[in-house]
Amino acid sequence: MTWIGHTSFLIQMSGLNILTDPVWSERASPLQFIGPRRWVPPAVEFDRLPPIDVVVISHDHYDHLDARTISRIARRYPAAVWYAPLGVGEFLRRRGAREVSERDWWDESAIGGLNLTCLPAQHFSGRRIGVRNNTLWCGWALRSSRHTLFFAGDTALHPEFDVIARRCGPFDLAILPIGAYEPRWFMGSVHMNPEDCVKAVAQLTAGQKGKPMIMAAAHWGTFKLTDEPMDEPPVRMREQWRAAGRDGSHLWILRHGETRTVG
């Protein structure tokens, strides 16, 4: 797993190269001269990507679904299979994606030796003023013969994490968002903060025996979206992790471009 930035990851499992929420543009915006600008460039140059087999989309917000990047991937890797929540497929097809699979929560798919399940999240959707929640938002479980990964996408803390664990776990790795959480009166219903992440991990691992689950942090340090300082989320995440008595080696705060392997 390599962190490209925000919720963009290159995941290599079951012999497939998988991208999550790929964004290579300079801004998370419909216009490239205004809107949230990257603090850190994409940590893997687009031209240095391996051949992409699968692209997984969580929802249609600009920091997760980027029109320019979609078009680039569709041109470069026309055989890629795209997995997206309900309503997002047409956006992908208009930008050149050929094989698109739209899924509702709990719908399952398979490609090669990889199984995918579209999972509940607590968030919202919409790309312009006055148009909201016409498309779905979600997380994804990715399962191979050796590993199971949970990509939460963008979400607040919600009561379905334990259901997700029962139906799709146990997980070797969970990619959870830790940033864009202040002010809480506004962001608390759509984004987790580090305290919420620890609670989500507790739900995801309740009753799990054997190999412990690793949590990898996402959705921080790339775009300035909310009020907290850019470097605060990982500091608070580590503090909350320690306060919960969890093993520090099971929390991955990756550097941009860092690659780690799940044993």
Q: What is the mean pLDDT of the chain?
A: 96
Does the predicted TM-score (pTM) go above 0.85? Answer: yes
Residue 113 counted as domain residue:
yes
d(CA 255, CA 134): 35
pLDDT at residue 132 in the model = 85
Report DSSP state, residue 52. P
Residue 260 counted as domain residue:
no
d(CA 160, CA 259): 29
Residue 258 counted as domain residue:
no
User: Is pLDDT at 130 greater than 90 in this prediction?
Assistant: no
Closest CA to 166 of 110, 244, 106: 106
Q: How many domains does the chain have?
A: 1
Residue 59 counted as domain residue:
yes
- 118: β partners: 140
32 — pLDDT class (breaks 50, 70, 90):
confident
d(CA 141, CA 139): 7
d(CA 42, CA 44): 6
pLDDT at residue 30 in the model = 82
Residue 195 counted as domain residue:
yes
- 27: β partners: 37
- 18: β partners: 11, 54
Range of the domain at 222: 2-252
Residue 261 counted as domain residue:
no
Integer angstrom CA distances of residue 179 from 140, 174, 184, 208: 19, 15, 12, 26
User: Is pLDDT at 49 greater than 80 in this prediction?
Assistant: yes
16 — pLDDT class (breaks 50, 70, 90):
very high
User: Is pLDDT at 263 greater than 90 in this prediction?
Assistant: no
Integer angstrom CA distances of residue 128 from 116, 134, 200: 29, 11, 30
Helical packing angle, 194-205 and 232-243, nearest 10°: 50
Residue 257 counted as domain residue:
no
Integer angstrom CA distances of residue 226 from 119, 180, 200, 229, 254: 26, 5, 21, 8, 21
Give every CB contact of residue 112 below 8 A, 6+ residues apart in sequence. Answer: 14, 15, 16, 53
Q: What is the mean pLDDT of the segment spanning 126-151?
A: 93
pLDDT at residue 34 in the model = 82
pLDDT at residue 91 in the model = 97
User: Is pLDDT at 31 greater than 90 in this prediction?
Assistant: no
Integer angstrom CA distances of residue 84 from 109, 144, 259: 11, 19, 25
**Which CATH number does the domain housing residue 149 bear?**
3.60.15.10
pLDDT at residue 238 in the model = 98
pLDDT at residue 104 in the model = 98
Q: For residue range 70-119, what is the model confidence (pLDDT) as tens digits?
A: 999 999 999 999 999 999 999 999 999 999 999 999 999 999 999 999 99
Residue 167 counted as domain residue:
yes
66 — pLDDT class (breaks 50, 70, 90):
very high
Q: For residue range 162-199, what is the model confidence (pLDDT) as tens digits?
A: 999 999 999 999 999 999 999 999 999 999 999 999 99
User: Is pLDDT at 2 greater than 80 in this prediction?
Assistant: yes
pLDDT at residue 210 in the model = 82
Contact 83, 55 (CB under 8 A): yes
More confident residue, 217 or 132: 217
